[in-house]
Amino acid sequence: MKKILVTGGAGFIGSHVVRRFTTQYPEYQIYNLDALTYAGNLENLSDVEQLNNYHFVKGDITDAVFIDQLFQENDFYGVIHLAAESHVDRSISDPLSFVMTNVVGTANLLNAARKAWKDDLGKSDAPRLFYHVSTDEVYGELHDPNDFFLETTKYDPRSPYSASKASSDHFVRAYHATYKLPVVISNCSNNYGPNHFPEKLIPLMIHNIIQNKPLPVYGKGENVRDWLFVEDHARAIDVIFHKGVVGETYNIGGHNEWKNLDLVFLLCKTMDEKLGREAGTSEKLITYVTDRAGHDLRYAIDATKLKNELGWEPSLQFAEGLERTVDWYLANEAWLENVTSGAYQKYYEGMYAAR
């Protein structure tokens, strides 16, 4: 029985990774370490929490003593590190909490793994793996429509969030070069799907359309994102965890670029149909608001390396993924209500009231 530590498993992507690994790999014992911040929600895992190979550990990756102890008490075979502060807008209002969690938290995990795995470091058949889940935002923004992010693209982070993720990537590579820690990194584009916290574009728009509230489009809505269904990301993480080459980086993307405004129009149309509203009803809610500071224009991933070397490709067409997502939110209004009460209301007021 191999023990695998998944950090941030109660969050959006982490919960899909935990579900995939607990259900597909009964030979693994999955330890989900999560601090349960506003973004962590154990409800996301209600369907797997009874499984014998699932274990929840509440804890904070910024607590070095606790993390060291966890690694000393458990002989982890691998780590899949997703815990992070993940929302760009929050990083603009509170950058230091991103430094703490994303930089210091990652360094604490690397350091604990280095100490706990010291007898295995540098061995060619390295029976360990530290998998760091990162973002395409570390590469900055694209302007030329023919350009794509490659694994070799120079880092150019432009928000406190992406700077903190870039820094964590550098620490991961430094631990590989210096201590021979067996690591692998992936940098993924924008995810969407069930359990996505409604501070992010797609679930926020779905929530506001249901509630007939204004749909806040930043600037002119011309920024472009490359959207990937979250289960495809979890499958990519599975493939890279099992087949990725130690020390390598893999870009993951959806080959699915959308201008924000076009995406919001598509969501309005889909939701009008689903809710039985007259065509054109929801798009009247679109409201242009002050742009995000330093708003990256376009992200687009070239995932050829992952396809050619490990055989991964996205499986879902966007229309199908978006419909599954909308259906999930409509069928899970209680989930949406739970995560949007209390603290979320305060956040929303602060972020959008005077925008």
Give the binding site for ligand NAD (CB under 6 A).
Answer: 7-8, 10-14, 34-37, 39-40, 60-62, 82-86, 101, 105, 133, 135, 165, 188, 190-191, 197
Q: Which is nearest to 101 in space by CA: 153, 40, 158, 168?
A: 168
**Span near ligand DAU by CB under 6 A; candidates 27-35, 44-52, 71-79, 135-143:** 135-143
- Bridge partner list, 131: 80, 184
Cβ-proximal residues to 257 (8 Å cutoff; 6+ apart), any chain: 224, 225, 226, 298, 300
What are the residues facing 29 on neighbouring strands?
A: 3
Report what 90 binds from ligand DAU, ligand NAD, none; CB cut-off 5-8 Å by kind: none
Annotated catalytic, 250? no
Q: Does 199 qualify as catalytic in the annotation?
A: no
Binding partner selected for residue 225 from ligand NAD, ligand DAU, none, CB under the kind-specific 5 to 8 Å limit: ligand DAU
Burial 78-99 (b: 16+ CB within 10 A, else e): bbbbbbbbbbbbbbbeebebbb
Residue 287 CA to residue 293 CA, distance in Å, equals: 18
Q: How far apart are CA 314 and CA 188, in angstroms?
A: 12
**Cβ-based nearer residue to ligand NAD, 14 or 216:** 14
Q: Does 218 bind ligand DAU (CB under 6 A)?
A: yes
Among 106, 111, 164, 260, binds ligand DAU (CB under 6 A): 260
Beta-carbon contacts of 44 under 8 Å, excluding residues fewer than 6 positions away, are 10, 11, 12, 15, 195
Half-sphere exposure of 73 (CA within 13 A, CB side): 9
- State yes or no: residue 136 binds ligand DAU (CB under 6 A): yes
The answer to the question of residue 8 lying near ligand DAU (CB under 6 A) is no
- As measured in angstroms, the least distance from the Cβ of 190 to ligand DAU is 4
Nearest approach in angstroms of CB 262 to ligand DAU is 12
How many C-beta atoms surround the C-beta of residue 129 within 10 A?
A: 22
CA angle 227, 163, 352 (to 5 degrees): 65
7 vs 282 by CB, closer to ligand NAD: 7
| Minimal distance, residue 68 CB to ligand DAU, in Å | 27
* DSSP H stretches of helix in 139-226: 160-179, 201-211
232 noted as active-site residue: no
| Residue 299 sits in the site that holds ligand DAU (CB under 6 A) | yes
Q: Which does 260 bind (CB under 5 to 8 A by kind): ligand DAU, ligand NAD, none?
A: ligand DAU
217 binds, among ligand DAU, ligand NAD, none (CB under 5 to 8 A by kind): ligand DAU
Residues that bind ligand DAU (CB under 6 A): 86-88, 135-137, 189-190, 200-201, 204, 216-218, 223, 225, 260, 292, 299
Which positions are annotated as active-site residues? 136-137, 161
